[in-house]
């Protein structure tokens, strides 16, 4: 709708903050009116950069700053209470992944957004990578036939030194897990989006095999059995020497779809090949020290979220969608901690 302006407030001015702030700068119908961080120096620096007010108490920001949209960029354990507080204050909410630590909190987040009639979105920006879009649209076209099997590999690096610099990562109560809930969640979510079926069961193992100072898992493997009979194998560790490109392979009746990093290759059995990678020309300068591979997909998802508020439609990645991924992640932990198969 022409003329509608939105007033955004961002909670959490850490690593991911620039992705949200710069995304909003790219939308000419949104003003960043406030930022919030318990670390006052971070909040003040962000407010100076984006020419807005700052707060150190998120409730105060929500109550007093005159915002209508709240972005949640804080440690995992805070997503649920912050989203619920914001929804009850009639603010639209977009939260970083994961929705929450516990599945029941994610359910409450969705219910509160519904009860208050506000738009609720969960960041899984990799859906917007051109390669992901190619695989999704090719699967939807039926050209690949049915998916028969899937596999996911994530071998990244999060060292003890990395964990030692954070006051929340590596803990069960604040991060809610390790490689699964924080790193592999993106790739597992993409896999679930591609397969597009309800889950039948999850059977997984988790352990800490290579870190000294963390409580949570640095290794996970298992199978997710979908109701369309696809058995999806996954393997994830964060003790590899570097962040190797993630891999997803979907073996289908009429060909194979592969994701290597963000690059998609679809090889049909009749010899046809389709490829898509990140568009190098589609760049945005997020600021020095910001990881470049995060790319422009945050902007695309955040734009879709605001367009949904304006049109009254559901965002492409809404709370209901996020809840399904959260349920899968929670089931991996549940299975890993109890050594039991978790049926849905
Ligand atoms: N989508 C992605 O690719 C991606 C990438 C990185 C991080 N993330 C997600 O973003 C979120 C934040 O991660 P990060 O790496 O930026 O963490 P971070 O630790 O760098 O930043 C979190 C910030 O929240 C602040 N904070 C903590 N408690 C607060 C409170 N009560 N009120 C206000 N501020 C508070 C901290 O002081 C810190 O500045 C996490 O959910 C993480 O999983 C997503």
Query: At 338, which CATH number?
Result: 3.30.360.10
Q: What is the pLDDT of residue 111?
A: 98
pLDDT at 279: 75
Residue 244 Cα to ligand 1 middle (Å):
23
pLDDT at res. 278: 82
Domain boundary among 80, 98, 125: 125
| Confidence check: pLDDT of 92 > 80 | yes
Boundary residue ending a domain (81, 108, 125) = 125
CA-nearest residue, atom 8 of ligand 1: 16
CB of residue 81 inside a 6 A radius of ligand 1: no
Task: Give the pair of three-digit tokens for residue 4.
Answer: 């509608």
3-state DSSP assignment of residue 235? strand
Element spanning 237, H or E: strand 231-237
What distance in Å separates the CA atoms of residue 230 and residue 11, rounded to the nearest whole number?
Answer: 39
What is the distance between the alpha carbons of residues 63 and 69, in angstroms, rounded to a whole number?
12
Give the domain extent around 241. Answer: 127-279+319-343
Is 46 near ligand 1, meaning CB less than 6 Å away? no
Q: Is residue 257 part of a domain?
A: yes
- Centre of ligand 1 to C-alpha 313, Å, is 28
Specify the residue for token string 């901690």.
Answer: 337
DSSP-assigned states of every residue in 270-336 = TS-EEEE---TT------TTS-GGGTTHHHHHHHHHHHHHHHTPPPSSBHHHHHHHHHHHHHHHHHH
Q: Which two tokens stand for residue 98?
A: 């994961």
What is the whole-number distance in angstroms between the Cα of residue 175 and the centre of ligand 1? 10
Region of poorest pLDDT, from 15-29, 63-77, 284-298: 284-298
Q: Rounded distance, CA 1 to CA 254, Å?
A: 43
- In degrees, to the nearest 5, what angle opens at C-alpha 229 toward C-alphas 223 and 235? 20
168 and 158 share one domain: yes
**Which CATH number does the domain housing residue 117 bear?**
3.40.50.720
Strand ordering across the sheet containing 342-343 = 273-276, 263-268, 255-260, 247-252, 147-155, 231-237, 219-226, 199-207, 342-343
Ligand 1: does its nearest atom lie under 6 Å from the Cβ of 275? no
Q: Which atom of ligand 1 is nearest to the CA of 168?
A: 19
Q: What is the mean pLDDT of the chain?
A: 95
Q: How far is the CA of 139 from the centre of ligand 1 (A)?
A: 34
| Mean pLDDT of all residues in 24-32 | 92
Across 24-28, 62-66, 83-87, 103-107, least confident range:
24-28
- Determine phi and psi for 84, rounding to 5 degrees: -70, -40
Residue nearest atom 7 in ligand 1 by C-alpha distance:
16
Distance 96 CA to ligand 1 centre (A): 8
Which of 13, 14, 83 for mutating ligand 1's site (highest number of atoms within 8 Å of CB)? 14
Residue having the nearest C-alpha atom to atom 36 of ligand 1: 12
Whether 313 is in the pocket of ligand 1, judged by its Cβ within 6 Å, is no
CA distances from 202 to 68, 182, 266, 274 (A): 38, 18, 27, 32
Phi, psi dihedrals of residue 272, rounded to the nearest 5°:
-70, 145
Q: Does the pLDDT at position 328 exceed 70?
A: yes
Q: Do residues 119 and 137 both lie within one domain?
A: no
Q: Are residues 15 and 98 in the same domain?
A: yes
Q: Classify residue 330: in a domain, yes or no.
A: yes
Q: What is the pLDDT of residue 4?
A: 78
Ligand 1 binding pocket includes 125 (Cβ within 6 Å): yes
**Could you tell me the pLDDT band of residue 289, with boundaries at 50, 70 and 90?**
low
Tell me, yes or no, whether 120 and 132 share the same domain.
Answer: no
Distance 296 CA to ligand 1 centre (A): 19
What's the predicted TM-score (pTM) here? 0.96
Count other C-beta atoms under 10 Å from residue 51's C-beta.
9
Does one domain contain both 137 and 110? no
Ligand 1 centroid–CA 75 distance in Å is 5
What is the distance between the alpha carbons of residues 100 and 98, in angstroms, rounded to a whole number?
Answer: 5
137 and 109 both lie in a single domain: no
SS3 143: coil
Q: Are residues 203 and 326 in the same domain?
A: yes
Tell me which of 39, 73, 158, 189 to substitute to probe ligand 1's pocket, judged by most ligand atoms within 8 Å of the beta carbon.
73
Number of domains forming the structure of the chain: 2
Closest Cα to residue 1, out of 295, 312, 334? 312
Residue 306 lies in a domain: no
Ligand 1 near 105 CB (within 6 A): no
User: Do 76 and 153 fall within a single domain?
Assistant: no
- Whether residue 293 is predicted with pLDDT greater than 60 in this model: the reply is no
**341 in Cβ contact with 202 (< 8 Å):** yes
Q: Would the pLDDT of 270 be above 70?
A: yes
- Whether 189 is in the pocket of ligand 1, judged by its Cβ within 6 Å, is no
The reported pLDDT for the residue numbered 26 is 85
Q: Are residues 105 and 167 in the same domain?
A: no
pLDDT digits (tens, 9 = 90+) for 195-234: 999 999 999 999 999 999 999 999 999 999 999 999 999 9
Are both 133 and 119 inside the same structural domain?
A: no
CA of 73 to the centre of ligand 1 (A): 5
Is the CB–ligand 1 distance for residue 103 below 6 Å? no
pLDDT of 283 reads 62
pLDDT for position 335 = 98
């Amino acid at each position: 709708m022409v003329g509608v302006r939105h007033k955004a407030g961002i909670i959490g001015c850490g690593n991911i903050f620039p992705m949200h702030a710069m995304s909003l700068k790219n939308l000419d119908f949104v003003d960043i009116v406030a930022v919030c961080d318990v670390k006052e120096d971070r909040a003040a620096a962000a407010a100076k950069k984006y020419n807005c007010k700052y707060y150190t108490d998120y409730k105060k920001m929500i109550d007093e700053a005159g915002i209508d949209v709240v972005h949640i960029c804080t440690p995992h354990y805070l997503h649920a209470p912050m989203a619920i507080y914001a929804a009850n204050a009639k603010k639209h909410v977009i939260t970083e992944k994961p929705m929450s630590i516990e599945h029941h909190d994610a359910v409450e987040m969705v219910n509160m957004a519904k009860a208050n009639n506000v738009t609720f979105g969960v960041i899984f920006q990799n859906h917007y990578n051109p390669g992901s879009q190619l695989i999704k649209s090719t699967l939807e076209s039926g050209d690949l036939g049915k998916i028969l099997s899937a596999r996911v590999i994530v071998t990244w690096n999060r060292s003890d030194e990395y964990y030692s610099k954070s006051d929340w990562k590596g803990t069960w109560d604040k991060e809610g897990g390790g490689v699964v809930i924080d790193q592999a969640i993106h790739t597992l979510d993409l896999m679930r989006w591609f397969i597009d079926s309800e889950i039948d069961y999850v059977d997984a193992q988790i352990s800490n095999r290579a870190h000294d100072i963390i409580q949570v898992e640095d290794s996970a493997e298992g199978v997710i059995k979908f109701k369309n009979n696809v058995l999806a194998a996954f393997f994830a560790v964060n003790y590899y020497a570097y962040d190797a490109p993630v891999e997803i392979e979907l073996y289908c009746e009429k060909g194979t779809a592969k994701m290597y990093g963000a690059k998609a290759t679809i090889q049909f059995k009749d010899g046809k090949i389709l490829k898509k990678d990140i568009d190098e020309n589609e760049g945005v300068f997020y600021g020095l020290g910001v990881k470049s591979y995060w790319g422009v997909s945050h902007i695309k998802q955040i734009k879709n979220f605001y367009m949904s508020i304006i049109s009254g439609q559901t965002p492409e990645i809404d709370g209901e969608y996020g809840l399904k991924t959260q349920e899968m992640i929670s089931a991996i932990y549940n299975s890993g901690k109890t050594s039991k198969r978790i049926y849905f």
